[in-house]
Amino acid sequence: MKNTLTIYITFFALLLVSCVNKSGSLSNTIDSTTTSTGPGAQLEEVFADSTYQLTGVAVSPDGRLFTNYPYWLDTHRYSVAEVIDGKPVPYPDSTWNSFKKGDNGENKFVCVQAVVTDENGYLWIVDAAGIGLGPVYQHSNKVVKINLATNSIERIYRFPESVTDNDSYINDIRVDNAKGFAYMTSSSNGGIVVLNTNTGDARFVLHQSPSVKSDTAYHFAIAGRELTKADGSIPKINSDGIALSPDKAWLYYKPLTDNRLYRISTSLLRDFSSPLQKINNSVEDLGKFITTDGMEFDKEGNLYLGDLEKSSIVKITPDLKMHTIVTDTALLSWPDSYSISADGYLYISASQIARMPWFNDNKSRTVYPYKIFRLKL
């Protein structure tokens, strides 16, 4: 496997042009073009952080709002926060959010990549533990399950190297409580981690499937420009976005840097005796849509994604028809993660990854603050 740091520097090199001017440089002065479709298609700001870069968003059944801050840059304070009265409060406590380089990361958040709530009132936290998108820090990658009724940690899931090795970067998670399974994408090497949430057993599948690899023929471009690395090569990023159908029968996923969407039966994934080749052969290619980071289903079976190349939110209906809901070239700078609230709002985090200093001659082009929006569905 390639080193995770190399792959993820390549990943973020993809993100240079969410606001490119004619000379090809990024600017902090952004022309905002907003297009709304339908009566509820209006972005509403619900949280802003003027200092720290956020990626994830999660809304509990009773309306509590959570976000996470990956440890990518030195400007980092805490990893998981609940938004209370517009302010981020470290969650579940300050101890879990107290990690510093050199600490034991076993029972602290190291580099949290995603937060997800479920219908049973739990918060699931994916700690990839890859500081600066590097190798796993001291084997401390994990999934933490928190009971929101008591604000206490109910279980910590850890992985053997046969499932997530030192170069793995687990990314996003979806949970089926009824069957007792969770599913995660691995963005560094391409594949799906299947976790039995009752026993703690886990399995890594689809690593050899073309469906978790970005299509080399796809030209990932924004405003007509294909993105390339400094050496002229074209980077390709593997499995990232993931979603469970409302009946939990299908797992949907896709590579980041192409527009194909795939799904596979979860009954096959749950059977740990299923041969890997049988799983590979059972993937369904649903066709070409858009590039996206995260994605999320509503109860009616509509799949919501963020079009990275067009700064848009789109909906794919159960008949696989795609509709653009809203476009905003300023506010939707790298729409990252999604959560749907009980009262019918789609929550969207905008991580501004394209504006990071890594890709702008070590100069930040971030337009502060980082924001979370919601959109009435």
Render pLDDT for 131-172 as a digit per residue (tens, 0 to 9): 998 899 999 999 999 999 999 999 999 999 999 999 898 999
For the cut 90, the answer to whether the pLDDT of residue 71 exceeds it is yes
> Band of the pLDDT at 225, cuts 50, 70, 90?
low
Instruction: Output the furthest CA–CA distance in the chain (Å, rounded).
Output: 55
Dihedral of CA atoms 133, 134, 136, 141 in degrees, nearest 10, equals: -10
For the cut 90, the answer to whether the pLDDT of residue 4 exceeds it is no
Which CATH number goes with the domain that contains 249? Answer: 2.120.10.30
Q: Two tokens at 67?
A: 């976000």
What does the chain come to in residues? Answer: 377
pLDDT one-digit tens code per residue, 256-288: 778 899 999 999 999 999 999 999 999 999 999
- Rounded CA gap, 142 and 157, in Å? 6
Q: How many CA atoms, within 13 angstroms, populate the side-chain half-sphere of residue 333?
A: 29
Report the 10 Å Cβ neighbour count for 357: 13
Q: Is 11 exposed, middle or buried (0-12, 13-18, 19+ CB in 10 A)?
A: buried
- Rounded CA gap, 218 and 192, in Å? 22
For the cut 80, the answer to whether the pLDDT of residue 6 exceeds it is no
pLDDT one-digit tens code per residue, 350-371: 998 777 776 456 778 889 999 9
**Residue that is written with structure tokens 């109860």 in the block:** 299
- Expressed in angstroms, the distance from the first to the final Cα of the chain is 41
pLDDT one-digit tens code per residue, 74-102: 999 999 999 999 999 999 999 999 999 99
Number of domains within the chain? 1
Domain enclosing residue 349, as ranges: 4-376
Answering whether pTM is above 0.75, one says yes
- Read off the DSSP letter of residue 354: G
The pLDDT of residue 230 is: 52
pLDDT one-digit tens code per residue, 277-328: 999 999 999 999 998 889 999 999 999 999 988 999 999 999 999 999 999 9
